[in-house]
Amino acid sequence: MVGAWVTVARVTDIPPGHAARVEIDEVPIAIFNVEGELHCIDDTCTHQEASLSEGDLDVERCAIECPLHGSGFDLRTGDAITLPAVEPVRVHRVEVSDGMIRVALRD
């Protein structure tokens, strides 16, 4: 199920190569700008408590590397692509409307 659209930031707040952490209903989520394309996933790593928005963005693989132990997550699918994490993160819907970034959480 998909939740309601929530406006979370201005599109200019997250330039290419950058990320932002926001909370929707107390759920931390991370938004990434990969060469102008926005991606949104859960911010908390599925291995331990780490904020993925603070990780290194891998533009070529469209992935984020967890800052704590280095697991990679595909930003398009949420799949954990390198150990030690094995569980995927959720991928949320994200769009731009009138210069604002909006997100709809998935269950």
- Name the residues that contact ligand FES, by CB under 6 A: 45, 47-48, 50, 66, 68-69, 71, 84-85
| Residues comprising the chain, all counted | 107
| Least CB distance to ligand FES at residue 88 (A) | 13
Residues with Cβ < 8 Å from 63, sequence gap 6 or more?
A: 57, 72, 73, 74, 75, 81
Shortest Cβ distance from residue 76 to ligand FES (Å)?
19
Nearest to 47 by CA among 29, 73, 75: 73
Backbone angles phi, psi at 13, to 5 degrees: -70, -20
- Nearer to ligand FES by Cβ, of 27 and 68: the residue is 68
Closer by beta carbon to ligand FES, 43 or else 94: 43
**CB-nearer residue toward ligand FES: 22 or 43:** 43
Q: Least separation, in Å, of the C-beta of 73 and ligand FES?
A: 9
Task: State which residue, 40 or 80, has the beta carbon closest to ligand FES.
Answer: 80
CB-CB contact of 2 with 106 (8 Å): yes
